């Protein structure tokens, strides 16, 4: 586990982090969310001892993170930095060599990453000549070239078009599948909803929620029936149902238990009206907004 334990950081009187506690398991793509200024960058920098905490600690597999341990980590910071006059290929080889990878293996890895991330010009182009999106892919390749067991990325998807998002997504998912740690911050909630098995949401340096995405997005008491055909539902049939929303192709209703929801659905099934019947899945953007509003109202 990567553990954040009571992280507290003051800038003047203001806490950027306020007893922030959560953990990131291996083998999942983990999304780190929060409004602007919530403390995401400060938290990620704390992993690498780039901020001096006033209180609390970050541990990895139960140990404090020494320089030796952090060598196995990859960090893509907010402020990007590649040597603009170097070609992408040379840059990646150079970084791999810095990590002690052999010359031959460095080249193999660099060529493979350039190919997999579909970096324009096949790595032969100088960084400065690339479009912003391609520079971003090169930056991602630079983070992954050492094959880090823990990957931390600050806004890796900002500025990427949907195709590039898919390409980067494949990289991160594959690495999580291999058992690595993958943590990134993002304001692109649709991407996070699609990609991340777990998320943490913070605000004002405090944890709001940390959970499996599925658990967070499954409404406990709301169910949806997708209808076969259109407009065949009589008002009679809807009698006694705690209806939230009705359209020609679905009804959304509230039920106190799965049993009660099943009872409703069975009435529709008996009439051959049901295409599918499911617990209602919320949108991450709605959950995000509601949770932030809830916590701010309570402050």
Interaction site with ligand ATP (CB under 6 A): 11, 16, 34, 36-42
- Which of the 8 DSSP states describes residue 128? G
Which of residues 42 and 146 has its CB atom nearest to ligand ATP in the complex?
A: 42
Least distance between ligand ATP and beta carbon 71 (Å) = 24
Least distance between ligand ATP and beta carbon 48 (Å) = 14
Which of residues 2 and 127 has its CB atom nearest to ligand ATP in the complex?
A: 2
Least distance between ligand ATP and beta carbon 262 (Å) = 43
Least distance between ligand ATP and beta carbon 40 (Å) = 3
Which of residues 33 and 195 has its CB atom nearest to ligand ATP in the complex?
A: 33
Residues 274/225, Cβ–Cβ less than 8 Å:
yes
The half-sphere exposure of 190 on its side-chain side, counting CA atoms within 13 A, is 4
- Which of the 8 DSSP states describes residue 87? B
- Which of the 8 DSSP states describes residue 254? E
Pairing of strands 181-185, 29-33: parallel
Least distance between ligand ATP and beta carbon 12 (Å) = 7
Which of residues 40 and 137 has its CB atom nearest to ligand ATP in the complex?
A: 40
Residues 219/279, Cβ–Cβ less than 8 Å:
yes
Q: Is 113 helix (H, G, I), strand (E, B) or coil?
A: helix
Least distance between ligand ATP and beta carbon 265 (Å) = 42
Which of residues 10 and 219 has its CB atom nearest to ligand ATP in the complex?
A: 10
Least distance between ligand ATP and beta carbon 289 (Å) = 15
From CA 191, how far away is CA 44, in angstroms rounded? 20
From CA 19, how far away is CA 43, in angstroms rounded? 11
Which of residues 41 and 139 has its CB atom nearest to ligand ATP in the complex?
A: 41
Q: Which long-range contacts (CB under 8 A, 24 or more apart) does 207-215 make?
A: 207/20, 207/21, 207/22, 208/34, 208/291, 208/292, 208/295, 209/291, 210/22, 210/23, 213/31, 213/284
From CA 26, how far away is CA 155, in angstroms rounded? 20
Which of residues 108 and 209 has its CB atom nearest to ligand ATP in the complex?
A: 209
- Which of the 8 DSSP states describes residue 164? H
CA 216 to chain centre: 13
């Amino acid at each position: 586990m990567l553990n954040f334990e009571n992280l507290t950081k003051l800038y003047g009187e203001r806490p950027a982090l306020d007893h922030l506690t959560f953990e990131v398991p291996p083998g999942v793509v983990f999304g780190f969310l929060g409004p602007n200024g919530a403390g995401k960058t400060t938290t990620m920098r704390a992993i690498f001892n780039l901020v001096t905490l006033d209180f609390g600690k970050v541990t990895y597999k139960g140990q404090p993170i020494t320089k030796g341990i952090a060598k196995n980590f990859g960090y893509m910071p907010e402020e990007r930095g590649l040597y603009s006059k170097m070609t992408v290929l040379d840059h990646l080889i150079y970084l791999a060599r810095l990590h002690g990878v052999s010359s031959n293996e460095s080249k193999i890895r660099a060529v493979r990453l350039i190919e997999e991330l579909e970096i324009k010009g096949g790595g032969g182009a100088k960084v400065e000549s690339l479009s912003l999106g391609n520079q971003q892919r090169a930056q991602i390749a630079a983070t992954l070239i050492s094959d880090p067991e823990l990957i931390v990325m600050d806004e890796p998807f900002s500025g990427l078009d949907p195709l590039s998002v898919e390409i980067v997504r494949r990289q991160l998912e594959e690495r999580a599948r291999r058992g690595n740690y993958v943590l990134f911050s993002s304001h692109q909630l649709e991407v996070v909803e699609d990609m991340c098995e777990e998320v943490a949401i913070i605000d004002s340096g405090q944890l709001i929620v940390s959970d499996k995405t599925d658990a967070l997005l499954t409404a406990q008491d709301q169910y949806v029936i997708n209808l076969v055909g259109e407009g065949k539902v009589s008002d009679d049939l809807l009698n006694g149902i705690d209806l939230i929303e009705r359209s020609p192709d679905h009804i959304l209703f509230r039920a106190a238990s799965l049993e009660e929801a099943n009872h409703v659905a069975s009435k529709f099934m008996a009439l051959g009206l049901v295409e599918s019947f499911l617990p209602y899945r919320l949108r991450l953007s709605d959950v995000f907004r509601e949770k932030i509003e809830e916590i701010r109202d309570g402050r």
